[in-house]
Amino acid sequence: MKLFLKKNKNKKIVILDVPLLLENKLNSKNDILVFVDAKTPNIEKKLKKRPNFNRKLYNKFKKIQFSRFYKKRKSDFIIKNNFMKKNIRIEIKNILKKVL
């Protein structure tokens, strides 16, 4: 990740999708955190459709993750994920307008 950031240091914005970012303390004070919130049943429904879905691995990750409420408090922005691409794109554009 450090190499990627170094290569892109002259960019206006760099977007990273980092699983367990907060749990692994990979964020810095200057980072702008965006939390993508979705209802647990919807997440599980989507995950179960994946051909490589592993229930045991999913449960292990759930145990080590911080709560959604904690992540929301730590985030600068929250995107409501209703699994509709159009709505998510609109929210992303609104965030980019505020950040840039």
Residue 2: predicted pLDDT: 84
> Residue 54 corresponds to which tokens in the numbers above?
């592993």
pLDDT one-digit tens code per residue, 89-98: 999 999 999 9
pLDDT one-digit tens code per residue, 16-73: 999 899 999 999 998 999 999 998 899 899 999 999 999 999 999 999 999 999 999 9
Under 8 Å between Cβ of 1 and 16:
yes
Residue 78: predicted pLDDT: 96
B/e letters for 6-37, b = 16+ CB within 10 Å, e = fewer, are: eeeeeeeeeeeeeeebbeeeeeeeeeeebbee
Checking if the pLDDT of 99 tops 90, the result is yes
Checking if the pLDDT of 75 tops 90, the result is yes
DSSP state of 84: -
Q: Where are the domains of the chain?
A: 27-99
